[in-house]
Amino acid sequence: MSGTDRAFYRGRPSALRILGGQVVYQLRLLRRSPIAAFATLVIPLMVLLAIGLLYANARVSTRGDIRYVQFLTPAMVVFATVTACYMGVISSTVLAREQGILKRIRGTPLPAWAYLTGRIIAAGIVAGVSSLVVIGVGMAAYGFHMMWSSVPPALLVLTTAIFCFCSLGLAVTIVVPSAESALPLAWGTMLPLCFISDVFQPIDGAPAWLRSVAAVFPVRRFADQLEALFNPVTGGTRLDGADLVMLVVWGAGAALFALIAFRWEPAGEHGGIFPALRAIASLVRERITDLLGACAKRLSAKGRPL
Amino acid sequence: MTAVEVDDLFKSYGSVNAVRGISFSVQAGEVFGLLGPNGAGKTTTLEILEGHRRRSGGTVSVLGFDPQLGGRAFRERIGIVLQAAGVDAELTVRELLMLHGSWYPRELPIADVIELVGLEQKRSARVGTLSGGQRRRLDLALALVGDPDLIFLDEPTTGFDPAARRNAWELVDRLRRLGRTIILTSHYMDEVQHLADRVIVLSAGRIVAEGPPDSLGADGPPATIVRFRLDERHSSDQLPTELLRAIEIGEREIVIRTSAPLRTLTILCDWATASGAELRALEVVRPSLEDVYLELTSGSSAVGDGGPRVGN
């Protein structure tokens, strides 16, 4: 035997090292899962090509009479981001949970925040690559006019949206009862929102109530911001603070819920939406009790090694 | 030094009481076995010790930590082989071990761990291509890569072929020699008998027996069996009266169940000497751990359903 007595001590690994490892791990998994990569990179591109073919030379009269492709390309960046961050995170996380991979990880020293942040950063990188591909194809195939001065604020919006939709995806995994229901639930919740949020076509002529409903959700805020940044007539480089705040609030709320109630174990006997909700309620209760217990222990043992 | 201390542990799932007030301790460096049929509460107990499950009552201390609150510092010192847990099929054996190893402050050389579990030929293979037994060996490797002080093995050799089981046993023996504390559950009685220094037997969430494997059943059922054949000149009804009420007449042999084998043998031999009888194929059979286990957990004995016995 080479020996288990040859262990080496290097001290607790730094947060950066652990996080870097997580990002590489998640990207490697994605690279080796062609179907996941297809869904994330190809679907937005296909939608861009299909709608572009039909309406490339049409005009959007409600938005300064710009060419349709000038509206569609940033809209498809929105769709690509939502696909990579929301749909991608839900399907891969639920699958890992139902296969017992998360339970195994939970028994190791890998901190929960590192795992969750690693997922967010990896999904963000994929969203970035997907967005670049969409913009490149939009420019090459349909003559999308790139406004370079809008790139810095667009990056800020994109980063905020990545955080928002990844957090939402992680939060939604908590109520997804099984691997089979992950994708239907992800698409079923996001696709209708995309339709009413100016992603596939501008709904400027829609009833006011529908626009008001859409304005509550982050997709519309994200889409309107990005589309305005690349509109050479009515848009500009100025950001709407309310839209950004809305994205941050949705993201922060979802992240908090995910941190408190994240489920590391397969649903098992908690399969089904109502048992899942009961399990979540009990989990939240337990996590808060644990948190209080840990705080009390830390306070009482302050200055004393464990 | 005590590695694990469990006092009056309770666990219920709704109205079902999975664990009902069990207490035990495990010393550092000990190999400790949890035995019991499905549903006895052994995996629940193990998962409470690992920190995977919350207890409903009682106190638990593992390496000085409350597993529920131990967090990262606790998990840096334990290694877990779960009964069923997935791994990323797209990664190779080496990549997965490197990833897991990078989370611990202490790490065993990856090549050593791979060699230890006998996966040298598969180090570059994707996990998805491994057989069931190889996957289980990878489970063991993942539990060991952080050089843990305490290792939980939940049915670690299920699905192994006999040779792989022997290898796993050797591995546990090595870990024991290195001073690691090991808590294991198993369905294989020979495994527990071979590996464990002490065991507890669980049935319906309660401890029904505790001690070194060889001592189980020493002070209770099932009985030792004394088995022999008589020569043609003697018949069973000539045996001493005190034995007569405990004998079973088989097709070819006479069987006596006794909780006092020495006394029974003395009476039998004295009678045989006095009467000139020959005790052919005389055999004294101690109950196996499996017999003890079945009797303790089901109330019925594989040896003979609590037939008449010679007692003290």
Instruction: Name the amino acid, one letter, at B211.
Output: G
Contacts of B112 in chain A (CB under 8 A): 1-4, 6
Query: Contact B87/A104, CB-based, under 8 Å?
Result: yes
Choose from B87, B103, B113 for mutation: most chain A CBs within 10 A. B103
Strand partners, B285: B225
Query: Contact B147/A286, CB-based, under 8 Å?
Result: no
Choose among A172, A176, A92: nearest CA to A126.
A92
Residues of A with CB under 8 A from a CB of B: 1-13, 17-18, 21, 25, 28-29, 32-33, 96, 99-101, 103-104, 106-111, 265, 286, 290, 293-294, 297, 306
Q: What pLDDT is attached to residue B188?
A: 76
Query: Contact A28/B90, CB-based, under 8 Å?
Result: yes
Query: Contact A293/B107, CB-based, under 8 Å?
Result: no
Quote the CA–CA distance of A246 and B237 in Å, as a whole number.
95
Q: What pLDDT is attached to residue A65?
A: 86
Q: What pLDDT is attached to residue B303?
A: 32
C-alpha B261: how far from its chain's center?
Answer: 26
Query: Contact B146/A265, CB-based, under 8 Å?
Result: no
Choose from A30, A94, A104 for mutation: most chain B CBs within 10 A. A104
Contacts of A303 (CB under 8 A, 6+ apart): none
Which two structure tokens, joined as six digits, stand for B235? 């018949």
Mean pLDDT of chain B, nearest integer = 85
pLDDT tens, residue by residue, B106-120: 988 999 999 888 899
Model pTM score: 0.79
Quote the CA–CA distance of A94 and B196 in Å, as a whole number.
38
The number of beta carbons lying within 10 Å of the beta carbon of residue B161 is 11
Task: Please give the interface size between A and B, counted as residue pairs whose CB atoms are below 8 Å apart.
Answer: 113
Rounded to two decimals, the ipTM of the complex is 0.81
Which two structure tokens, joined as six digits, stand for A55? 């309406």
Query: Contact B88/A29, CB-based, under 8 Å?
Result: yes
Query: Contact A10/B54, CB-based, under 8 Å?
Result: no
CA atoms within 13 A on the CB side of B236: 17
- The SS3 of residue A199 is coil
In this structure, are strands B31-35 and B198-203 parallel, antiparallel, or unpaired? parallel
Portion 35-64 of B in contact with A at CB < 8 A: 50-52, 54, 64
For residue A179, name the pLDDT band (cuts at 50, 70, 90). Answer: confident
Q: Which residue of B has its CA nearest to A286?
A: B54
* Cα angle B150-B151-B152, degrees, rounded to a multiple of 5: 125
Indicate the range of A16-30, B7-21, B183-197 predicted with least confidence: B183-197
Our CA-based measurement puts residue B39 at a distance from the nearest CA of chain A, in whole angstroms, of 15
Query: Contact A109/B115, CB-based, under 8 Å?
Result: no
Secondary structure letter of residue B253 according to DSSP: -
**B163 touching chain A per CB within 8 A:** no
What percent of chain A is modeled with pLDDT above 70?
Answer: 92
Quote the CA–CA distance of B185 and B83 in Å, as a whole number.
9
C-alpha B174: how far from its chain's center?
Answer: 18
Contacts of A185 (CB under 8 A, 6+ apart): A90, A172, A176
Our CA-based measurement puts residue A72 at a distance from the nearest CA of chain B, in whole angstroms, of 36
**B80 touching chain A per CB within 8 A:** yes
Indicate the residue of B66, B68, B90 with minimum beta-carbon distance to A29.
B90
What percent of chain A is modeled with pLDDT above 90?
Answer: 48
Between A138 and B302, whose confidence is greater?
A138
Indicate whether A223 pLDDT > 50: yes
Quote the CA–CA distance of B224 and B257 in Å, as a whole number.
6
Contacts of B25 (CB under 8 A, 6+ apart): B2, B4, B5, B6
Our CA-based measurement puts residue A15 at a distance from the nearest CA of chain B, in whole angstroms, of 10
Quote the CA–CA distance of A131 and B149 in Å, as a whole number.
47
For residue A4, name the pLDDT band (cuts at 50, 70, 90). Answer: low
Q: What pLDDT is attached to residue B259?
A: 76
Stretch A164-178: mean pLDDT:
92
Contacts of B99 in chain A (CB under 8 A): 21, 25
Query: Contact B178/A4, CB-based, under 8 Å?
Result: yes
Residue B195 phi, psi (nearest 5): -95, -40
Residue B176's Cβ-count burial label (10 Å; 0-12, 13-18, 19+) is middle
Quote the CA–CA distance of B97 and B266 in Å, as a whole number.
61
Our CA-based measurement puts residue A100 at a distance from the nearest CA of chain B, in whole angstroms, of 4
Alpha-carbon Rg for chain A, nearest whole angstrom, is 22
Residue B1 near residue B15 (C-beta atoms within 8 A) = no
Query: Contact A28/B72, CB-based, under 8 Å?
Result: no
Choose among B198, B166, B266, B204: nearest CA to B44.
B204
For residue B79, name the pLDDT band (cuts at 50, 70, 90). Answer: very high
The number of beta carbons lying within 10 Å of the beta carbon of residue B273 is 9
Three-state SS for A86-134 is: HHHHHHHHHHHHHCCHHHHHHCCCCCHHHHHHHHHHHHHHHHHHHHHHH
Q: Which residue of A has its CA nearest to B69?
A: A294
Q: What pLDDT is attached to residue B142?
A: 94
Quote the CA–CA distance of A233 and A152 in Å, as a whole number.
19
Query: Contact A286/B54, CB-based, under 8 Å?
Result: yes
- The SS3 of residue A70 is helix
Between B159 and B185, whose confidence is greater?
B185
Enclosing H/E stretch for A167: helix A151-173
Instruction: Name the amino acid, one letter, at B200.
Output: I
Indicate whether B310 pLDDT > 50: no
Our CA-based measurement puts residue B304 at a distance from the nearest CA of chain A, in whole angstroms, of 39
Contacts of B90 in chain A (CB under 8 A): 28-29, 32-33
Indicate the residue of A2, A6, A101 with minimum beta-carbon distance to B86.
A101
Indicate the range of A167-181, B22-36, B179-193, B267-281 predicted with least confidence: B179-193
* Cα angle B294-B180-B210, degrees, rounded to a multiple of 5: 25
Contacts of A1 in chain B (CB under 8 A): 112, 115-116, 174
Contacts of B87 in chain A (CB under 8 A): 101, 104
Q: Which residue of A has its CA nearest to B55?
A: A286
Query: Contact A107/B78, CB-based, under 8 Å?
Result: yes
Q: What pLDDT is attached to residue A270?
A: 52
Choose among A286, A11, A304: nearest CA to B51.
A286
Our CA-based measurement puts residue A43 at a distance from the nearest CA of chain B, in whole angstroms, of 23
Q: What pLDDT is attached to residue B100?
A: 95
pLDDT tens, residue by residue, A65-97: 889 999 999 999 999 999 999 999 999 999 999
Stretch B27-45: mean pLDDT:
89
